[in-house]
Structure 1
Amino acid sequence: MSSRETILSRIRDAQTLAPPVAEQVPRDYRTGRTMPDVERIELLVDRLVDYRAHVHRCDPTTLTETITRVLRDVGARRVGVPAGLHESWLTGFAGDVVVDSADVPAPELSTLDAVVTASTVTCAETGTLFLDGSPDQGRRALTLVPDVHVCVVTAESIEVGLPESLARLAPERPTTMISGPSATSDIELERVEGVHGPRNLHVVICG
């Protein structure tokens, strides 16, 4: 018997001994939790700040102005956007706006100073932003290569916890979960930012 056959045989034996699917780990998570809008947003802000993200509050009438100010403050001159981003969001930006597409090689995204996207849903309890590749969010590479990510979160898209957030996602869509700027620790426990994504995350909460 070959090594491959031995391994497959062991897998089949293990599956035979495994309990039926119905008897496996229960998935009875808490769902349907609600919280007043003010408290829900305050909880999200607290988590984002704890993760060292920059938080900006605005309403729909000042969204464009807020995005423009954030881009100006970070010194962005060349900004990438997904093809479906609302055109009015960058009308106040005086620099170059690059519309991303699958034809743009990922290494070329490093020439962008920042990227601006929307988001699908946000979990207040964990401070996690969910991007599912929708037209106003773009492909995964667009939000991982540039050093600055400006993400717009609407108040109505904020859920209390993970079960509520996941329930609003389409399982078949590619989902990127972002909890603060990209960061890790080296062997001496020194925090290193920007290893796997943007070093700077700016979250614009609109509503």
Structure 2
Amino acid sequence: MSAREEILARVREALTPAEVGPRGAEVGPPDAEVGPRGAEVGPGYRTASGLDEDALVELLVDRLVDYRARVEVVTSQGLAEAIRTRLEGKRFVAPDGLPANWLHPSLAESKVTDSREAPVDVVRLDELDAVVTSSAVSIAETGTIVLDGSPDQGRRAISLVPDHHVCVVPVETIVGIVPEGFTRLDATRPLTLISGPSATSDIELERVEGVHGPRTLDVIIVR
């Protein structure tokens, strides 16, 4: 018996008939929990993190900083000033549904408004320095911010073309793990998942930023 045959024999011996599905695929035990859309999941599958607000914020900040995002936690009263600090002197685009009180009056002349009815073309977007949006859901464990195209987040293009993204994360939209995040999202909407500034690596693992999205990501968490 070859080594391959011996290994396969041991695998077959370890699996009981009840645990072998179609084409030999291993499936969960009979008492497996039922997950979304009736899919079976193992009994250890987590659907909630159990973390409180402070722990969620701390974990999300840790992950985002590890991804080289710049992060600040502010109160709602300090949000407009935090955004002004990051956008002062820059030409930027904002979705038409962004709350007006988020932007300091001094930024009015630098703002370009984008909407589905009057979209800013890609050439013009490329000429702008930055974009500011809100966000739909943020997943602390993976450090992922999700935009879903809502009026305060706008079209996907505006968050991908400018080189600097200022993203507002309301604390009530932070969840612990991926299953929690996707229960809050509508999968039919145009979802954009952001985990730090745009970056990629070549075969020699040389990191290059800004290839397919903003080179700089500022995240402002609002408590």
Match of 2:141 in 1: 125
Unaligned runs of at least 5 residues, structure 1: 1-16
Match of 1:51 in 2: 67
What amino acid is aligned across from residue 101 of structure 1 in structure 2? S
Contact 1:64–1:92, Cα closer than 8 Å, also in 2: no
RMSD: 2.1
Give aligned-pair identity as a percent.
Answer: 53
Q: How many angstroms apart in 1 are the aligned matches of 2:176 and 2:106?
A: 33
Q: Computing the radius of gyration over CA atoms, which structure comes out larger, 1 or 2? A: 2
Paired residues in the alignment total 186
Match of 2:171 in 1: 155
Task: Give how far 1:27 is off.
Answer: 4.2
Match for 2:215 among 199, 202, 206? 199
1:110 aligns with 2:126: yes
Q: How many angstroms apart in 1 are the aligned matches of 2:182 and 2:210?
A: 26
Contact 1:65–1:92, Cα closer than 8 Å, also in 2: no
* Per-residue deviation, residues 37-82 of structure 1 (Å, max 9, x unmatched): 111100000000000000011001111011111223xx52x11001
Q: How many angstroms apart in 2 are the aligned matches of 1:121 and 1:18?
A: 38
Contact 1:68–1:92, Cα closer than 8 Å, also in 2: no
Residue correspondence of structure 1 range 1-207 to structure 2 within 5 A: 26-27=40-41, 29-72=45-88, 75-76=89-90, 78-94=91-107, 95-102=109-116, 103-207=119-223
Unaligned runs of at least 5 residues, structure 2: 1-21, 29-37
Q: Please report the TM-score for the alignment, with normalisation by the length of structure 1.
A: 0.83
- SS of the counterpart of 1:195? coil
Which consecutive aligned stretches of 4+ in structure 1 deviate over 2 angstroms post-superposition?
A: 22-29, 91-95, 101-104
- SS of the counterpart of 1:49? helix
Change over 3 Å in CA distance of 1:32–1:187 after alignment to 2? closer
